[in-house]
Amino acid sequence: MSLTIRPARPEDCPTIVMFIRELAIFEKLEAEAVGTSEQFHLHLFGERPACEAIMAEWQGEPAGFALYFTNFSTFMAKPGLYLEDLYVRQAFRRRGIGKALITTLAEIALSRDYGRFEWSVLNWNSPAIAFYRALGAVAMDEWTVQRVSGPALEKMAAMSPKASLN
């Protein structure tokens, strides 16, 4: 096995965008994948990084990635690791790459003394759900994800009392 897991580097941004577009096609969300290499460079490696990524290479070929960021548990009073995207290219599946990526993230969470590691998965993606269950993940069925974006986010922000928080 010739698998390498390493932190993303600035020159990986075009590959990350390619992976995200492939993932979006798989998830039937292609129209929503509008991020550019420049945007990922800013948010991964800029002055105030918003996320991190690890890359998987199989025999030197880009095979997959995981993009994650820190969240926070007020109940635990500890940060947590939130996995935004995990993707392994079709040609590289069934080689343990997904497991290597997710277990590397678990190792990162523990090494940073994070209290938890969590992510979301589409309800229809039964192979991914089975994979996560086999690794010990537990569904948080009592929680429902809420999201505000686009015009609804702008409308919500317009209701703000205009406190200066930046």
Would you state the pLDDT for residue 1?
Answer: 65
pLDDT in tens, 20-34: 999 999 999 999 999
Q: Is the pLDDT of residue 163 over 70?
A: no
Residue 166 predicted with pLDDT over 60: no
Residue 12 has pLDDT above 80, yes or no: yes
Name which of 33-37, 49-53, 120-124, 158-162 the model is least confident about.
158-162
Direct distance between the N- and C-terminal alpha carbons of the chain, in angstroms, rounded to an integer: 48
Could you tell me the residue ranges of all domains in the chain?
3-158
Q: Out of 17-21, 41-45, 123-127, pick the least confident.
A: 123-127
pTM: 0.91
pLDDT at residue 39 greater than cutoff 70: yes
Which of 88, 89, 50, 84 lies closest to 67, judged by CA?
84
Residue-wise pLDDT for 76-94, tens only, equals 999 999 999 999 999 999 9
User: What is the pLDDT, as a whole number, of residue 139?
Assistant: 93
Q: Mean pLDDT, to the nearest integer, of 112-140?
A: 94
Number of CB atoms found within 10 A of residue 36's CB: 11
Separation of CA 94 from chain center: 20
What is the rounded distance in angstroms from the CA atom of residue 146 to the CA atom of residue 166?
Answer: 24
Tokens of 29: 């969300």
Minimal CA–CA distance to 115: which of 70, 71, 68, 80? Answer: 80
Report phi then psi at 57, rounded to 5. Answer: -125, 135
The verdict on whether 132 is a catalytic residue reads: yes
How confident is the prediction for the chain on average, in pLDDT?
95
Q: Give the active site residue among 68, 82, 114, 132.
A: 132
Q: What gap in Å lies between CA 73 and CA 34, rounded to an integer?
A: 30
pLDDT band of 3, cuts 50, 70, 90: very high
Q: Which amino acid is at 102?
A: I
- The domain covering 3-158 belongs, at the CATH homologous superfamily level, to Gcn5-related N-acetyltransferase (GNAT) (3.40.630.30)
Non-local (6+) Cβ contacts of 20 within 8 A are 33, 35, 85, 87
The runs of H, that is alpha helices, within 27-143 are: 37-45, 97-111, 126-134
Report d(CA 113, CA 135) in Å as an integer.
20
Residues 6+ apart with CB under 8 A from 23: 33, 85, 87
